[in-house]
Amino acid sequence: MFQGFYNLTSGMLTQNRNLDIVSNNIANVLTPGFKKDVMASSTFQEEMIARTGNIDKNNPEQLNNFAMLRTATEVNTDYSQGVLESTGNPLDLAITSEGSFFQIQTQNGTVYTRNGSFIIDNEGYMCLSEVGRVLGENGPIYIGSDDIIVEKTGIVTRADGMMADKIALVQFDDMTQLKKMGDSAYTSNAQPTASDANIMQNTLERSNVNALDCMVSMIESQRALQSAAEVLKIYDQLMSKAANDIARI
C-alpha cells in the first residue's frame, strides 16, 4: 500500500509540473516568436540508471518498489517555425527560417529572440519593447522614424535614402545551450555564428503553440490528478480501517 502512495504522489507532482508548463504555453499563444516548452518524464528507475555516470548499464539491477515512480527529467523547448502573419507595420520583422535569431542589446548583455515586434525608443533606435535595442553589424540600429525599408538580406534603409545598418542575425550550433529569459528572449554562454537567413518586413512570426493540443494536454493532466487524488483517499480510508481493526485486536 505504501508503494501505491509513492507512485500516486510522484505522478501527481509530475502532472502538476506539466500543468505549469502547458499553462505558460497557453498564456503565450499570442506572443510573437514564442517557442513552446515540452516536459519529458521517465520512471525513477530510468532516471537513476541515466545518472550513474560511467558505470556499466548493460545489466542494470531492478529497483523494485521504486521502478514505477514518475519524475520530470527535463523541459525541452520546441524551436520549430511559427506561422508568418502579415501585419502591415513596417517595424514588424520576421525571420523566414528556423534556427536564427535577432540580437538585442540589454544592460546585462546580448539576448536573442525571434520576436520581431519592434518599436522606436525615445532616442530613435529600433528596439524590442521592455528588452533593449536591436543590434546591427555596427551596433544598435538608429532609424529615427518608422519610414524604413528592410530588405530580405536585413539591410535597413531610412526615409532619407541612407542605409542605417544591416540587422545582425545569428544562429547556434547547439540550441540546448539557450536559456529562456522572459517569454520570447534567450541568453546563452555559447558563442553564436552569423546567419544569412532572410527577413520579411511587415510580418510577424506567431507563437508555435497549438492551443487545441495544449487544452487536450491540460485536460489529461487534470484528469490524472483527480484520479490520483481519489485513489489516495481510498488508500487513506483503507489504512484508517486497518489501523482501527488492528487496535481492536
Which residue would you say has higher pLDDT here, 201 or 228?
Answer: 201
* Res. 246: pLDDT tops 80: no
**Average pLDDT across the chain, whole number:** 84
Mean pLDDT for the stretch of residues 108-114: 95
pLDDT band at 67 (very low <50, low <70, confident <90, very high): very low
Mean pLDDT, residues 94-110: 95
Predicted pLDDT of residue 240: 73
Per-domain boundaries in the chain: 2-79+218-248, 84-205
CA dihedral 232, 238, 240, 242 (to 10 degrees): -150
Q: Which three cell numbers stand for residue 55?
A: 558505470
CA-only gyration radius of the chain, Å = 25
Compute the distance between CA of residue 11 and CA of residue 9 in angstroms, rounded to an integer: 5
Mean pLDDT confidence for 18-29: 91
Q: Measure the CA–CA gap between 50 and 68, rounded to whole angstroms.
A: 15
pLDDT at 55 over 50: yes
**What's the pLDDT band for 71 if we cut at 50, 70, 90?**
low
The tens digit of pLDDT for each residue in 127-169 reads: 999 999 999 999 999 999 999 999 999 999 998 899 999 999 9
Assess whether pLDDT exceeds 80 at residue 90.
yes
pLDDT at 66: 44
**Is residue 108 packed enough to be buried (19+ CB in 10 Å), middle (13-18) or exposed (0-12)?**
exposed
In eight-state DSSP terms, residue 191 is P
Instruction: Say what the pLDDT of residue 222 is.
Output: 76
Q: What is the mean pLDDT of residues 88-102?
A: 96
**pLDDT for position 68:** 46
Residue-level pLDDT at 153: 97
Cβ pair 158, 147 in contact under 8 A: yes
